[in-house]
Amino acid sequence: DKELLGIIGENVKKYREKANLTQAELAEKVGIGTASVSRIERGEKRMKMETLRAFADALDISVGLLFYQENRDELLLTLAKMLDGQSPEFIEGIIALTRACLENFGNKQTNLDDL
Does residue 97 form part of some domain? yes
DSSP codes of every residue in 36-60? HHHHHHTT-----HHHHHHHHHHHT
Backbone angles phi, psi at 105, to 5 degrees: -130, -15
% of the chain residues with pLDDT over 70: 88
Domain assignment of residue 100, given as a range:
85-114
Does residue 30 form part of some domain? yes
Burial of 28 (0-12, 13-18, 19+ CB in 10 A): middle
pLDDT in tens, 26-63: 999 999 999 999 999 999 999 999 999 999 999 999 89
Query: How distant, in Å, are the alpha carbons of 16, 20, 50, 83, 102 from that of 33?
Result: 15, 18, 15, 30, 42
Same domain, 61 and 105: no
Same domain, 63 and 106: no
CATH of the domain at 15: 1.10.260.40
Same domain, 46 and 20: yes
Q: If pLDDT is split at 50, 70 and 90, which confidence band does 115 have? A: low
Of the candidates 112, 97, 91, 7, the one whose C-alpha atom is nearest the C-alpha of residue 52 is: 7
Q: What is the pTM of this model?
A: 0.63
- Give Dmax over CA atoms of the chain in angstroms: 51
Q: What is the pLDDT of residue 71?
A: 62
The count of structural domains within the chain is 2
Residue 42, SS3? coil
Same domain, 92 and 58: no
pLDDT in tens, 58-69: 999 989 889 876
For residues 98 and 30, the model is more confident at 30
Does residue 43 form part of some domain? yes
